[in-house]
Amino acid sequence: MREIDVLLNRYLDRAWETASPTERDAFLQLVDLQDPDLFGYLVGRATPAEESQRAIIACIHRLEP
């Protein structure tokens, strides 16, 4: 999905470089998810069980234009 790519690339462009190893691991776990699950998290239809993934989703939302 193009929308997912835009959001994930924005994170990579703006936050990846300064992310901690834990944050990077959480991001990589997110990108391994199926698109419908990841999309649900990104639009707020669902919430990840893992706190670290919830933190990455929150960071992605803060990076939105």
Instruction: Summarize pLDDT for 15-50 with one digit per residue, the tens.
Output: 999 999 999 999 999 999 999 999 999 999 999 999
Q: Give the CATH number for residue 11.
A: 1.10.150.250
The residue range of the domain holding 25 is: 2-62
> For the chain, how many structural domains are there in total?
1
Q: Which residues of 26-43 are buried (b: 16+ CB within 10 A; e: fewer)?
A: bbeebeeeeeeebbebbe
Q: What is the pLDDT at residue 65?
A: 78
Q: What is the pLDDT at residue 11?
A: 96
Measured between its terminal Cα atoms, the distance across the chain in Å is 19
- pTM, two decimals, is 0.88
Q: What is the pLDDT at residue 32?
A: 96
CA distance linking residue 23 with residue 28, whole number of Å? 9
Residue whose pair of structure tokens reads 């999309």 in the numeric block: 39
